Amino acid sequence: MAYIGEQQKVLNGRGIVGRFDEGTSAGKYFYRERVTEGGKRKYKYQLLQNVSSLSEAAETASDAAIAIATGTPLVTQASQGRALLEGLQQGSRQHQDEQVKSVSIETAIKEFISHHEKRRRAELIAETTFLNKSGIIHNHLAKYLEYKNVNYTSEITRTTFIEYLSFRSKTTRLCMQRECSVIGEWLKFLDTYEYIHSKLLRGGTILPRA
């Protein structure tokens, strides 16, 4: 059994992240949580790739929890970010005009909802939070982009959402703020998977302030 060195509670005490200091995994970081299987409680571990500090391990904890809960391979935001950066650096050398992996708005919405459905099943977000995100994306974002005649992610520009507040003018300021927050999450999701131009969100959000 490898000896655990530094460690930290994460996800409101659901699990811990730590570093193995001895054994074959010495120097590697992990996420661990206690689960119940067959009436017995035991620990499950998920090794964290490309993590070099406890703070980085804590940032990947939610992704590791999803991997354990769903039995799927661990794909972290950090590894996606590094892969994206490497791809952009290589692409800048080979192609001055960047090409994005444009998908339909319908597909982009489905993938975003599926991502948060996995988080809900892993109990990383509450059912009400999932329904709120899903409702905003389906009922407001989709309708607005249809109104703007935006059918593919590559068609999103810095001015796409300039009319969003007027489009939702009959709702309250608080609702507008919540909607823009969730739409901002969706845009960052698109950026992570290279569905929009890498420069689009540079310098902050492209959403208006409610």
DSSP string covering 15-75: EEEEEE-SSTTTT-EEEEEEEEETTEEEEEEEEETT--SHHHHHHTHHHHHHHHHHT----
CB 54 within 8 A of CB 29: yes
124-134, pLDDT tens digit by residue? 899 999 999 99
- Residues 66, 115, single domain; the answer is no
Whether residue 40 is contained in a domain is answered as yes
- Residues 187, 105, single domain; the answer is yes
- Residues 66, 104, single domain; the answer is no
Given a cut of 70, whether residue 96 has pLDDT beyond it is no
Whether residue 88 is contained in a domain is answered as no
pTM: 0.65
- Confidence class for position 150, pLDDT limits 50, 70, 90: very high
- Residues 9, 62, single domain; the answer is yes
Owning domain of residue 168 = 98-192
Please report the pLDDT score of residue 129 as a whole number. 94
- Residues 70, 145, single domain; the answer is no
- Residues 118, 164, single domain; the answer is yes
- Residues 120, 179, single domain; the answer is yes
Whether residue 44 is contained in a domain is answered as yes
What is the average per-residue pLDDT within 53-63? 87
Question: What proportion of the chain, given as a percentage, has pLDDT over 70?
Answer: 86
* Domain count for the chain: 2
- Residues 56, 116, single domain; the answer is no
- Residues 103, 158, single domain; the answer is yes
- Residues 11, 40, single domain; the answer is yes
Whether residue 174 is contained in a domain is answered as yes
Whether residue 207 is contained in a domain is answered as no
- Residues 65, 12, single domain; the answer is yes
DSSP 81-138: HHHHHHHHHHHHHH-SS------BHHHHHHHHHHHHHHHHHTTSS-HHHHHHHHHHII
Whether residue 173 is contained in a domain is answered as yes
- Residues 170, 112, single domain; the answer is yes
Whether residue 85 is contained in a domain is answered as no
